[in-house]
A = this chain, B = another copy of it.
Amino acid sequence: MAGVSVATASKALNERGSMMPQTRERVQAAARALNFRPNAMARALVSQRSFTLGLLTNDTYGRFTLPVAAGLSEAMVDRGVSVFLCAIEDDPERARVNLDAMQEKCVDGLVLAGKRVDRALPLDLSGLSLPVVHVYSARPPGGIGFEPDDEAGAALAVAHLAGLGRRRIAHVTGPVGFAAVPMREAGWRRALAEAGLSPFGEPLSGEWSEDFGFRAAGLLFGPETGPERPDAVFCGNDQIARGLMDALALMGVGVPDDVAVVGFDNWEIFAQATRPALTSVDMALKEVGRQAGLTILDMIDGKRVEPGTRRLPCRLVVRRSCGGAGG
C-alpha cells in the first residue's frame, strides 16, 4: 500500500471524492507498481452489476451465431463487459441448465441468438427479470428483436441488377416455411416495381441447397423453357446461387454476359468459390450483434427501449457475377 486506507485508494483509482493530487498520484503509482487489478467480482457484489452478458444460441453450426457473437463481444469488451457463450443445441433441458447458470452468475442481460428468424429458442423466460434481446430468432410479444432487413437487402440486390440494365429478373429461393423467403421475395417485388419492371414469373421455391439451385437452372434455362429467359437471377442464398451457376456453366449459359446472378448471405466460402465470384447480399451480422449489445446495455442502464423488431440494413457485396462495375 501507498500508506493510505482502502477507502482512499478506491477513491484515488476511481477518480472519485476530493483529495490531494499528490495522494492520488501516489496511489496510482503504487497500483501500477503492484500490477493491481480490481477484482470484478467484489465490485459486482456491491454494485449489483456483473458487467457480464449471457449469449444463448442453438446455432451449433455457427453460420449465423459466430458473426453475431464476434460483433457482440467486440462491442462489449470496450465497455468492460464480457460475454458468456452457452451452446444449447435446441435442447430445452440444456437450455434450462444454461439459463440457471447465467442467473447464478448474475449476468446483467441475455442475448438469445437463433438460426431462423421465425423460430424461438426452447426457453421459458417467464418470471425472468433480466433484460433480454432476441437476435435472428422469434421474439415474444413485447420483446425486443434484432434481425437483418432481408426485404431491404433483397431490394438492394434487385435494384442493382435493374440499374445494370437487366430487365427479366427471376427469383430462386428456399422453402416457403421460412420467414426469410417472403421477406426476400417482397424486396424483389418492390425493387422491380420501383424500376418499372414486372416479376419474371413466380419465385421458384425449393430448398436452401446447391442441388435445388442446380435444378432451378434447368427450369429457367432448360430446353423445355419458353422463348423468354431471365437475364438475371436473384437467389435466396449463396448455396442456391452456387448450384445454379454450376448448372449454367454446364448448359453453356454465360455469367454475367447472358445472365447475372446475385446471392444472399455473402458466405465467403461460396461467394469466392463460384466462377465468376458471386455478388451477394451481406447481412452484416456483426453489426447486428453490436447493436443488440448496445441496446441491452441501454436496458441495463434503465433507459426505456421500444419493444419490437429492429431490422438492420444489409449491404451488397459486388463481385463479378452480376457484371457491370463490380470486381
Contact = CB atoms under 8 A, between A and B. Distances in A.
Contact of A273 (B52, B55, B210): B210
Highest count of chain B CB atoms <10 Å: which of A40, A74, A87, A97: A87
A86 B94 contact: no
Contacts of A78: 97
B85 A73 contact: yes
Interface in A291-320: none
A67 B70 CA distance: 15
Interface stretch (A7-15, A42-50, A157-165, A251-259): A42-50
A77 B82 contact: no
Interface string A30-45: 0000010111111011
A62 B65 CA distance: 9
**Can you tell how many copies of this chain the complex includes?**
2
A39 B69 contact: no
Interface string A174-213: 0000000000000000000000000000000000011100
A67 B61 CA distance: 8
Given A77-B86, A82-B86, A84-B84, A105 B40 contact: yes
A239 B97 CA distance: 37
A208 to B, nearest CB: 11
Interface string A212-243: 00000000000000000000000000010000
A87 B70 contact: yes
Contacts of A40: 104-106
B100 A37 contact: yes
Given A60-B66, A77-B98, A86-B73, A104 B37 contact: yes
Contacts of A42: 45
A264 B97 CA distance: 34
A136 to B, nearest CB: 15
Nearest to A272: B209
A102 interface: yes
A118 to B, nearest CB: 22
A2 interface: no
B86 A101 contact: no
Interface string A92-114: 00100110111111100000000
Contacts of A60: 66-67, 70
Contacts of A100: 37
A83 B85 contact: yes
Interface of A: 35, 37-42, 44-45, 50, 52, 55, 60-63, 65-67, 69-70, 73-74, 77-78, 80, 82-87, 89, 94, 97-98, 100-106, 127, 209-211, 239, 246, 268-269, 273
Given A35-B127, A40-B106, A82-B102, 4 more contacts: A42-B45, A55-B85, A60-B67, A239-B269
15 contacts: A37-B104, A39-B106, A40-B106, A41-B44, A62-B63, A65-B66, A69-B85, A70-B87, A73-B86, A73-B87, A77-B86, A77-B97, A82-B102, A210-B273, A239-B269
